[in-house]
């Protein structure tokens, strides 16, 4: 999994995405072409098949959510099958089904919402990866337990440009929950946004989840960004002091 800079996110490390199947699934062994140093209506279950725009202009923040299926023996490996990206305002700018690199052995429909027919005309993983990375590059990417999404994308996003709503004690406090408790996106959305998500039997909608994640981020945005700025200034001051001593 990508190495996250915990000092930028707070002092709590949570590593499990709680709105999907067991975290024991492993990543596919396929190599990526990249080598780098996240209450919907029934219609929202289906991607809009919008192409990645060439430029997002002045937009700075996007929210990402991915749905995974299982490949390998008994579906033991996570592979990307759908990705949705929304803007700061919640507008959908990317939403596509993606063909996994290996044959699917478990569609995990109960969680992923993915069905066999959804992948019949899905785009290849390599193409999707290029489109998604193009959108995220230079942006602050918001997600819930987003390291799982990056892992499925076989991509590392800079920690300083990543905002993980599963790593914000401020949200737990807003929800009236213990700071150290790992809380699902569904539960946070209900407690803070007063919204019911992930309720249908047809599985999750990555559009719905991405929108909810961005809304949660905006609830604590000012306080969180101030904290990150203070940590950054503290680190710079320490580096300056150490350089002066040397």
Q: Which tens digit of pLDDT belongs to each residue from 145-176?
A: 999 999 999 999 999 999 999 989 999 999 99
Total count of domains within the chain: 1
User: What is the SS3 string spanning the chain?
Assistant: CCCCCHHHHCCCCCCCCCCCCCCCCEECCCCCCCCCCCCCCHHHHCCCCCCCCCCCCCCCEEEEEEEEEEECHHHCEEEEEEEEEEECCCCEEEEEEEECCCCEEECCHHHHCCCHHHHCCCEEHHHHHHHHHHHHCCCEEEECCCHHHHHHHCCCCCHHHEEEHHHCHHHHHHCCCCCCCCCCHHHHHHHHHCCCCCCCCCCCCHHHHHHHHHHHHHHHHHHHHHHHHHHHHHHHHHHHHHHHHC
Higher pLDDT, 48 or 29: 48
Is residue 111 in some structural domain?
yes
The structure's pTM equals 0.73
Is residue 11 in some structural domain?
no
Q: What's the domain range around 45?
A: 18-245
2, pLDDT greater than 50: no
Mean pLDDT of the chain: 79
pLDDT tens digit string along 35-56? 333 333 333 555 654 433 334 4
Is residue 12 in some structural domain?
no
How much is the pLDDT for 37? 34
How much is the pLDDT for 94? 98
95 has which bridge partners?
84
Give the confidence band of 6 by pLDDT, cuts at 50, 70, 90.
very low
pLDDT tens digit string along 59-102? 599 999 999 999 989 888 999 999 999 999 999 999 999 999 99
pLDDT tens digit string along 120-133? 999 999 999 999 99
Is residue 79 in some structural domain?
yes
Is residue 5 in some structural domain?
no
C-alpha to C-alpha distance for 91 and 93, rounded to whole angstroms: 6
Is residue 121 in some structural domain?
yes
57, pLDDT greater than 50: no
CATH label of the domain that carries residue 25:
3.30.420.10
Is residue 4 in some structural domain?
no
187, pLDDT greater than 90: yes
Residue of 1, 101, 105, 98 lying closest to 52 (CA atoms):
98
CA-based max dimension of the chain:
64
How much is the pLDDT for 13? 35
Is residue 9 in some structural domain?
no
Residue of 94, 176, 106, 187 lying closest to 141 (CA atoms):
94
How much is the pLDDT for 87? 96
pLDDT tens digit string along 200-245? 777 789 999 999 999 999 999 999 999 888 887 766 566 556 666 6
């Amino acid at each position: 999994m990508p190495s996250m800079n915990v000092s930028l996110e707070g002092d709590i490390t949570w590593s499990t995405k709680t709105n999907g199947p067991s975290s024991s699934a492993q990543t596919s062994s396929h190599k990526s072409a990249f080598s780098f140093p996240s209450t919907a209506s029934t219609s929202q279950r289906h991607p809009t098949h919008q192409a990645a725009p060439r430029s997002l202009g002045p937009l700075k923040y996007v929210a990402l959510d991915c749905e995974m299926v299982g490949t390998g023996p008994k579906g033991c490996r996570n592979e990307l099958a759908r990705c949705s990206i929304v803007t700061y305002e919640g507008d959908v700018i990317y939403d596509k089904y993606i063909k996994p690199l290996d044959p699917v052995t478990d569609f995990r429909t109960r969680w992923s919402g993915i069905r066999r027919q959804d992948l019949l005309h899905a785009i290849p993983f390599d193409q999707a990866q290029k489109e998604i990375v193009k959108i995220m590059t230079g942006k602050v990417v918001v997600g819930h337990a987003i390291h799982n999404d990056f892992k499925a994308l076989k991509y590392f996003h800079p920690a300083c440009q990543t905002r993980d709503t599963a790593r914000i004690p401020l949200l737990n406090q807003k929800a009236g929950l213990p700071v150290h408790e790992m809380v699902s996106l569904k539960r946070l959305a209900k407690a803070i946004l007063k919204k019911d998500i992930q309720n249908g039997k047809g599985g999750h909608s990555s559009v719905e989840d991405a929108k909810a994640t961005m809304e949660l981020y905006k609830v604590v945005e000012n306080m969180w960004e101030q904290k990150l700025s203070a940590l950054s200034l503290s680190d710079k001051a320490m580096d300056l002091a150490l350089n002066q001593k040397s």
